[in-house]
Structure 1
Amino acid sequence: MKIKALSLLVFMACSPLVMAQSGMTDQQVVEYVKQGMAQGKSQSQLVSELARRGVTREQAERIKQLYEQGSLNGTTSGTGQSQQSRSRQRTSESGYDTNRQTGNQTGNQKGTDQNSSEYSRNNNRNNRNSLNDSPEYAPETYDRDVFGEDASTMEELTRMLEASDGMNYTAQDSLSRAIQENEVFGRNIFNTTNLTFEPSVNLATPPNYRLGPGDEVIIDIWGTSQNTIRQEISPDGTINIEKIGPVNLSGMTVSQANEHLKRVLGKTYSGLDTPGGDLEISLTLGNSRTIQINVMGEVLQPGTYALSSFSTVFHALYRAGGVSPIGSLRNVQVTRGGKTVAKVDVYDFIMKGKTQDDIRLQEGDVVIVPAYEALVKIKGNVKRPMKYEMKHNESLATLINYAGGFSSDAYTRSLRVIRQNGEEYEINTVKEINFGTYTLHNGDEVTAEAILQRFTNRLEVRGAVYRPGLYQLNGEINTVRALVTEAKGLRGDAFTNRAVLKREREDLTTEMISVDVRGIMAGSSPDIPLQKNDILYIPSIHDLKDFGDVTIYGEVARPDKYTYSANMTLEDLIIRAGGLLEAASTVRVDVARRIKDPKSTVSTDSIGQMFTFALKDGFVIDGEQAFTLQPYDQVFVRRSPGYQAQQNVQVQGEVIFGGTYALTHTEERLSDLMKKAGGATDKAYLRGAKLTRVANEEEKKRMKDVIDLMNRQFGKAMMDSLDIKVDSTFTVGIELDKAVANPGSEYDLVLREGDVLSVPKLNNTVKINGAVMMPNTVGYLSDKNANYYLDQAGGYALNAKKSKKFVIYMNGQVARIKGRNKDKIEPGCEIIVPSKSNKRVTAGEILGYTSSFASLATMFVTLTNLIKN
Structure 2
Amino acid sequence: MKIKALSLLVFMACSPLLMAQSSMTDQQVLEYVKQGMSEGKDQRQMATELARRGVTREQAERVKKLYEQEQGVSTSKMSGTEQNEARLREATQEESTTSVLENPQPDSRELAQENQVFGRNIFNTRNLTFEPSVNLATPPNYRLGPGDEVIIDIWGTSQNTIRQQISPDGTINIEKIGPVSLSGMTVSEANEYLKRVLGKTYSGLDALDGTLEIRLTLGNARTIQINVMGEVVQPGTYALSSFSTVFHALYRAGGVNEIGSLRNVQVTRNGKTVAKVDVYDFIMKGKTQDDIRLQEGDVIIVPAYEALVQISGNVKRPMKFEMKKNETLATLINYAGGFSADAYTRSLRVVRQNGEEYEINTVKEIDYSAYPMRNGDVVTAEAILNRFTNKLEVRGAVYRPGIYQLNGEINTVRALVNEAKGLMGDAFTNRAVLQREREDLTTEIISVDVRSIMAGTSPDIPLQKNDILYIPSIHDLEDRGDVAIFGEVAKPDSYSYSDNMTLEDLIIRAGGLRESASTVRVDVSRRIKDPKSTHSTDSIGQMFTFALKDGFVIDGEQGFTLQPYDQVFVRRSPGYQAQQNVQVTGEVIFGGTYAMTTTEERLSDLVKKAGGATPKAYLRGAKLIRVANDEEKKRMRDVIDLMNRQFGKAMMDSLDIRVEDTFSVGIDLEKAMAQPGSEYDLVLREGDVLDVPKLNNTVKVNGAVMMPNTVGYLSDKNANYYLDQAGGYALNAKKSKKFVIYMNGQVARIKGRSKDKIEPGCEIIVPSKKNKRVNVGEILGYASSFGSLATMFATISNLIKK
TM-score by length of 1: 0.71
Q: SS where residue 458 of structure 2 aligns?
A: coil
Q: Are 2:269 and 1:336 aligned? A: yes
| 8 Å Cα contact 1:217-1:283 kept in structure 2 | no
Structure 2: how far apart are the matches of 1:646 and 1:847? 39
**Does structure 2 retain, via aligned residues, the 8 Å contact 1:730–1:858?**
no
Equivalent position to 1:183, from 98, 109, 116:
116
Given that 1:555 and 1:581 are in contact with CA atoms closer than 8 Å, whether structure 2 keeps it comes out as: yes
Shift of 1:728: 3.5
Mapping of residues 373-388 of structure 1, within 5 Å? 373-388=306-321
Amino acid at match of 1:537: Y
1:559 aligns with 2:497: no
Structure 2 residue corresponding to 1:362, chosen from 291, 295, 317: 295
| Residues 246, 696 of structure 1: alpha-carbon distance in 2 compared, 3 angstrom cutoff | closer
Residue in structure 2 matched with residue 27 of structure 1 by the alignment: none
1:485 maps to a residue whose letter is N
Q: 1:417 aligned to 2:327?
A: no
Give 1:589's aligned residue. 522
5 Å-filtered alignment, 1:654-803, equals: 654-704=587-637, 724-764=657-697
Tell me whether 1:641 sits opposite 2:559 in the alignment. Answer: no
Q: Distance in 1 between matches of 2:200 and 2:798?
A: 130
Shift in Å, 1:252:
4.2
Instruction: State the superposition RMSD in angstroms.
Output: 4.5
Following superposition of structure 1 onto structure 2, how do residues 160-179 of structure 1 map, counting pairs within 5 Å?
174-179=107-112
Q: Tell me if structure 1 keeps the 8 A contact 2:768–2:800.
A: no
Q: Report whether the alignment pairs 1:448 with 2:376.
A: no
Deviations along 1:26-46, whole A, 9 cap, x unmatched?
xxxxxxxxxxxxx99955545
Is 1:332–1:369's contact at 8 Å kept on the other side of the alignment? yes
Residue 251 of structure 2: aligned partner = 318
**Cα deviation per residue 1:239-288 (whole Å; 9 max; x = unaligned)?**
667887766554444555566667777888999889x7668976643334
Q: Partners of 2:428 and 2:601 in 1: how far apart?
A: 68
Q: Which residue in 1 is equivalent to 2:448? A: 515
What residue number does 1:550 align with? 483
Quick check: 1:668–1:750 contact (8 Å CA) kept in 2? yes
* 2:545 is aligned with 1:611: yes
Q: Which residue pairs with 1:286 in the alignment?
A: 218
- Aligned partner of 1:210 in structure 2 is 143
**What residue in structure 2 maps to residue 196 of structure 1?**
129
Give the Å deviation of 1:321: 2.6
**Would the aligned equivalents of 1:772 and 1:800 in 2 still touch at CA under 8 Å?**
no
Is contact 2:643–2:793 with CA below 8 Å preserved after alignment? Answer: no
> How is 1:93-108 mapped onto 2 (pairs within 5 angstroms)?
none
Distance 1:222 1:797, change over 3 A: closer
Write the deviation string for residues 671-728 of structure 1: whole angstroms up to 9, x where unpaired.
Answer: 2212122212223232333333223333344455555666777777776665555444
Distance 1:356 1:749 in 2: 102
* Partner-residue secondary structure (3-state), 1:500: strand
Residues of 1 paired with 2:292 and 2:113: CA distance?
31
SS at 2:320 equivalent = strand
- State the 1:430 CA deviation: 1.6
Work out the CA distance in 2 between the residues paired with 1:704 and 1:221.
Answer: 97
- Alpha-carbon distance between aligned partners in 1 of 2:757 and 2:209, rounded to the nearest angstrom: 136
Q: Which moved more, 1:508-517 or 1:815-824?
A: 815-824
**Pick aligned residue for 1:501 from 420, 425, 434:** 434
Query: What is the rounded CA distance, in whole Å, between the counterparts of 1:266 and 1:776 in structure 2?
Result: 110
Cα displacement string for residues 216-252 of structure 1 (whole angstroms, at most 9, x for unaligned residues): 5667788999988777655444566788776655444
Per-residue deviation, 1:363: 2.8
Distance 1:347 1:587, change over 3 A: same
- Cα distance between partner residues in 1 of 2:599 and 2:799: 38
Equivalent residue, structure 2, for 1:471:
404
For residues 824 and 245 of structure 1, the distance between their equivalents in structure 2, rounded to whole angstroms, comes to 120
How high is the sequence identity, in percent, across the aligned residues? 81
Label 1:462 to 1:225 Cα distance change in 2 as closer, same or farther (>3 A).
Answer: same
CA contact (8 A) 1:812 1:858 kept: no
Cα distance, 1:485 vs structure 2:
2.2
Aligned to 2:15: none
Q: Is residue 215–residue 285 contact of structure 1 (8 Å, CA) maintained in 2?
A: no
Mapped to 2, the partners of 1:398 and 1:655 lie a distance apart of 99
In 2, Cα distance between the equivalents of 1:220 and 1:758? 100
2-structure distance, mates of 1:797, 1:245: 106
C-alpha displacement at 1:209, in angstroms?
3.5
Residues of 1 paired with 2:202 and 2:383: CA distance?
Answer: 79
For residues 667 and 203 of structure 2, the distance between their equivalents in structure 1, rounded to whole angstroms, comes to: 132
1: CA distance, partners of 2:795 / 2:249: 90
**2:365 corresponds to which letter in structure 1?**
E
Q: Distance in 1 between matches of 2:174 and 2:701?
A: 116
What per-residue deviation string (whole Å, max 9, x for no partner) do you get for residues 380-436 of structure 1?
111111111111111111111111111111111111112233343322222212211
Structure in which a larger fraction of residues adopt helix: 1
Matched residues in 2 for 1:597 and 1:327: separation? 86
Asked whether the equivalents of residues 157 and 212 of structure 2 are also in contact (C-alpha less than 8 Å), the reply is no
Which residue of 360, 370, 375 maps to 1:427?
A: 360
Identify unmatched segments of 5+ residues in structure 1. 8-38, 53-169
The runs of 5 or more residues in structure 2 that have no matched partner are 1-25, 31-61, 76-102
SS of 2:476's partner is helix
Alignment length (residue pairs): 712
What is residue 6 of structure 2 aligned with on the other side?
Answer: none
* Bigger mean CA deviation after superposition, 365-374 or 590-599: 590-599
Mapped partners of 1:498, 1:336: distance in 2: 88
Deviation of 1:774 after TM superposition, in Å, equals: 9.2
Deviates more, 1:618-627 or 1:780-789: 780-789
Corresponding position: 1:399 with 2:332: yes
Please report how far the alpha carbon of residue 862 of structure 1 lies from its aligned counterpart in structure 2 after TM superposition.
Answer: 8.2
Match of 2:470 in 1: 537
- Alignment partner of 2:683: what SS? coil
1:727–1:253: structure 2 CA closer, same or farther, 3 Å change rule? Answer: closer
Would you say the 8 A contact 2:527–2:566 is kept in 1?
Answer: yes
Tell me, yes or no, if the aligned pair for 1:221 and 1:279 is still in contact at 8 Å: no
Residue pair 1:814, 1:862 contacting (<8 A) in 2 also: no
Per the alignment, do residues 843 and 508 of structure 1 end up closer, same or farther by CA in structure 2, a change over 3 Å counting? Answer: farther
User: Aligned partners of 2:752, 2:160: CA distance in 1, in Å?
Assistant: 130
Equivalent position of 1:115 in the other structure: none
* Residues 335-394 of structure 1, C-alpha deviations (whole Å, 9 max, x = no match): 222111211111112112222222222332222111111111111111111111111111
Q: Please state how far the C-alpha of 1:661 moved relative to its aligned partner.
A: 1.7
Residue type matched to 1:286 in 2? L
Structure 1 residue 853: Cα displacement: 3.3
SS of match in other structure, 1:326: coil
Partner Cα separation in structure 1 for residue 565 and residue 640 of structure 2: 43
2:497 & 2:246 partners in 1: Cα distance? 81
Deviation string 1:818-853 (CA, Å, 9 cap, x unpaired) is 8777666655556778899xx799756988987643
Q: 1:244-283 counterparts in 2 under 5 A?
A: 249-254=182-187, 256=189
Shift of residue 329 of structure 1? 1.1
Contact 1:254–1:283 (Cα < 8 Å) also in 2: no
- Superposed CA deviations along residues 143-196 of structure 1, whole A, max 9, x for unmatched, are xxxxxxxxxxxxxxxxxxxxxxxxxxx999833322221221111222223223
Q: Which residue of 1 aligns with 2:419?
A: 486
The DSSP-based 3-state class of the residue aligned with 2:256 is coil
